[in-house]
Structure 1
Amino acid sequence: MTAQNILNLRHQNIFRATVNHYISTAEPVGSKTLVKEYDFHVSSATIRNVMGKLEKAGFLYQPHVSAGRIPSDSGYRFYVDELVTPNVKTRKQVHQALTQNSDEQLWGLEATLQKANQILSTLSGYIALITVPQQNYARLRHLQLLPLSASKVMVIVVTDMFQPQSVAFELEYDPDELTLLANFLNHHLQGRSLEEISRLDLDALDQDFRHCAELLDTICQTVAKVNQNNLSTPILVHGISEVLRQPEFSQLEQLQTLLHLIEVRQEQLFPVMFNREGEEGTTLIHIGTENPLEPMKTCALVSANYYQEEVPVGSVGVIGPTRMFYENAIALVEATADYISASLTTQPELA
């Protein structure tokens, strides 16, 4: 029996009420509760019959023989796909909270992400996750060339998205020329992405520096290695204390495995959150057993990409129990992702 042949309008309304009540109370839902608290104008027996059909379809189940019913992962999936509309009021609420008394141009990107993560966690009541933008789209703010020995140089790269990174490499150089080269590169490379720098056309160099083309190519390729050596993308985490209030995480062992994943095994979590091929406006929702990672099999993850110049560079998400306020969570995640995308496009131009 499928959703198409059992869920008429009455069934959908009763199912929606069952899910909403369970989300609000964390208590199994019985037919008498629905009759008492929802205006269905039908008997308890009718509602009980509908709930029985929903159970046979796999959308509800009884955790105990004498208990009411709660949604299954399949039930939540149908609920999310067919019955949920992101809360417009919640979108406005998070937008107002994010933009109140803010000036991202003074803060910088890291502070913007930290603020967004804190607000997302507070408003959702779940663990908020924001991936730091992927390194290959970071733009160069400044580079410095430091002589380490007669044949070794360190290049220090500062981008608009990360802490300074450095790479040492072998190089035959003239000390007097090193400073001039650094100034030249800062002038020509500032504001370019590390991806772009790795593909720089050195034939377009100024006449005065063409004799240094090979040297400059070595430096540019070394700068690009900063990108290659930092492919792991950090995930900012906020709100672990929030999720402790949820009864689903009362078991310490279950909570520890989830926190270990979030804090230590982020390289496994990142590809679950970030949809490299996703079109703008696409929201990913993993519910319970749909999650590919074992510590998340009892959780729900809602995530959406944020963009820089229409390119997906990072992701925003919340992790909570499958008993999640999906209407609010989806709206909060989408609004936060939109806010970060807008912040990336309004970052001040690099001089």
Structure 2
Amino acid sequence: MVNQAELSARHQNILKATIKHYIATAEPVASKTLAQQYDFNVSSATIRNVMGRLESAGLLYQPHASAGRVPSDSGYRTYVDHLIVPNDNIDQAIQKIVQQELQIARTNFEALLQRAAKILATLSGYIALVTFPQKLNSTLRHIQLVPVAANQVMLIVVTDSYQTQSILMESPLAEEVDENTINHKLQRLSNFLDRELKGCCLADIKGIKWTKIDSEFAQYRDFLKILLNQLKLALQSDNSSPMLIHGVAELLRQPEFSQLQQVQTLLSLLEEQQEKLSPIIFTFPELESLKRVSIKIGMENSLEPMQTCTLVSANYYQDHVPVGSVGILGPKRMLYENAIALVKNTADYLSNPFQAFA
């Protein structure tokens, strides 16, 4: 992806105007349109030249030769990360609406979640996804690493509910060639993991950083970091909770979803494959991450039916531990400023009154 520092102020302004115009109209944007409707004080030929450079950089593309240009996934990512200017007026207005609308449903937490899903869908015009609180008491019962190939191991995880998962991982011993040595080292690593992690729950694993490891296992620090992420997913799966989905009809009004096959695959995911969707909506943030809202654009979404969409999500918390998430799933051509403020304020509201319903 192009670094923002590589774009001049003119490039940034024209990219921002192109994206904002495309979000508003859903029509490819021509240089003549930007020259007429935006005060750049340059000719359409100059704008066309800049748009060509932005296309070469992978930030814009032409859907067909005679058309104007539309943003690529990288273009949207640059816009979201660098070109959006925080607007306190939008944030405060949405915060006020969210508080007023959700105050109605404070009788119990389930009613509050139902109301939140409905409000998210209504105000955004997209699909709202809200997970019920996760059960954080499922714990690890057994962990084992088993060699399956020269460069692969199988992580076998058993939880206290006797749910078993097998996860294929790159071997930390890929350079070893002696089978007996590999088996011996993997057994010692398995014993270490079983000793350190047996009885840990999802919240415990979130706090592990592997900053202090016995010298024998320090060489596996990168492998252990990846392994912890896999264990989080395993415990999330064991603790999976129902999900509320609202706003499918609103999304189908968007021009991006006019093709029947595309809509069918997305509906199948939402209605029949929520076990795949839930771990994407509700994820533990990395310890070093300060971002409150997660934004996954297009191909950044791991599930194919979502790769024409953007997912904006944020966790809500109990005692500073994330227990659930709220999200908006819509076209990549979405009003990001509004969507981010809406998701953030909804998640904040759900976090604050949690103790009243616990």
Give 1:155's aligned residue: none
Q: Which amino acid aligns with 1:113?
A: L
Q: How big is the shift at 1:229?
A: 11
1:290-336: per-residue Cα shift (whole Å, max 9, x none)? Answer: 11001011111011111011000001100011111111111111111
Match of 1:237 among 226, 245, 249: 245
Counterpart secondary structure, 2:283: coil
Is 1:332 paired with 2:342?
A: yes
Question: Are the aligned partners of 1:280 and 1:305 in contact in 2 as well (CA < 8 Å)?
Answer: no
Instruction: Report the aligned-residue RMSD.
Output: 2.5
Is 1:295 paired with 2:305?
A: yes
- Aligned equivalents of 1:136, 1:6: Cα separation in 2: 45
Pair member with larger Rg: 1
Question: Are the aligned partners of 2:237 and 2:279 in contact in 1 as well (CA < 8 Å)?
Answer: no
Give 1:128's aligned residue: 128
Give 2:90's aligned residue: 90
Q: How big is the shift at 1:6?
A: 4.4
Q: How big is the shift at 1:276?
A: 1.5
Q: How many residues align?
A: 262
Matches within 5 A, 1:161-180: none
Q: Which amino acid aligns with 1:232?
A: S
Change in Cα spacing, 1:86 to 1:305, as seen in structure 2 (3 Å) is: farther
Change in Cα spacing, 1:100 to 1:60, as seen in structure 2 (3 Å) is: same
- Aligned equivalents of 1:6, 1:53: Cα separation in 2: 12
- Aligned equivalents of 2:353, 2:237: Cα separation in 1: 26
- Aligned equivalents of 2:236, 2:328: Cα separation in 1: 28
Match of 1:249 among 254, 257, 281: 257
% identity of equivalent residues: 58
Matches within 5 A, 1:1-351: 2-4=2-4, 6-100=6-100, 103=103, 107-136=107-136, 231-278=239-286, 281-345=291-355, 347=356
- Aligned equivalents of 2:65, 2:77: Cα separation in 1: 24
Counterpart secondary structure, 1:123: helix
- Aligned equivalents of 1:34, 1:117: Cα separation in 2: 37
Normalising by structure 1, we get a TM-score of 0.69
- Aligned equivalents of 1:262, 1:232: Cα separation in 2: 15
- Aligned equivalents of 1:292, 1:40: Cα separation in 2: 38
Question: Are the aligned partners of 1:307 and 1:314 in contact in 2 as well (CA < 8 Å)?
Answer: yes
Q: Which amino acid aligns with 2:109?
A: L
Q: Which amino acid aligns with 1:46?
A: T
Unaligned stretches of 5+ in structure 2? 139-200, 202-234
- Aligned equivalents of 2:73, 2:248: Cα separation in 1: 23
- Aligned equivalents of 1:4, 1:66: Cα separation in 2: 29
Change in Cα spacing, 1:87 to 1:277, as seen in structure 2 (3 Å) is: same
Change in Cα spacing, 1:40 to 1:126, as seen in structure 2 (3 Å) is: same
Counterpart secondary structure, 1:136: coil
- Aligned equivalents of 1:72, 1:121: Cα separation in 2: 25
Change in Cα spacing, 1:291 to 1:129, as seen in structure 2 (3 Å) is: same
Normalising by structure 2, we get a TM-score of 0.68
Q: How big is the shift at 1:90?
A: 3.2
- Aligned equivalents of 2:268, 2:70: Cα separation in 1: 28
Question: Are the aligned partners of 1:94 and 1:120 in contact in 2 as well (CA < 8 Å)?
Answer: no
Counterpart secondary structure, 1:107: coil
Counterpart secondary structure, 2:352: helix
Change in Cα spacing, 1:108 to 1:6, as seen in structure 2 (3 Å) is: same
Question: Are the aligned partners of 2:105 and 2:112 in contact in 1 as well (CA < 8 Å)?
Answer: no
- Aligned equivalents of 2:252, 2:315: Cα separation in 1: 26
- Aligned equivalents of 2:267, 2:73: Cα separation in 1: 22
Question: Are the aligned partners of 2:134 and 2:324 in contact in 1 as well (CA < 8 Å)?
Answer: yes
Give 2:159's aligned residue: none
1:31-50: per-residue Cα shift (whole Å, max 9, x none)? Answer: 10001110111111110110
Structure 1 residue ranges (4+ consecutive) displaced by more than 4 angstroms after TM superposition:
101-106, 227-230, 278-281
- Aligned equivalents of 2:256, 2:125: Cα separation in 1: 13
1:148-188: per-residue Cα shift (whole Å, max 9, x none)? Answer: xxxxxxxxxxxxxxxxxxxxxxxxxxxxxxxxxxxxxxxxx
- Aligned equivalents of 2:83, 2:256: Cα separation in 1: 24
Q: How big is the shift at 1:283?
A: 1.5
Change in Cα spacing, 1:244 to 1:2, as seen in structure 2 (3 Å) is: closer
- Aligned equivalents of 1:129, 1:36: Cα separation in 2: 39
Q: How big is the shift at 1:272?
A: 1.1
Q: How big is the shift at 1:4?
A: 4.7
Question: Are the aligned partners of 1:22 and 1:28 in contact in 2 as well (CA < 8 Å)?
Answer: yes
Counterpart secondary structure, 2:314: strand
Q: How big is the shift at 1:259?
A: 1.3
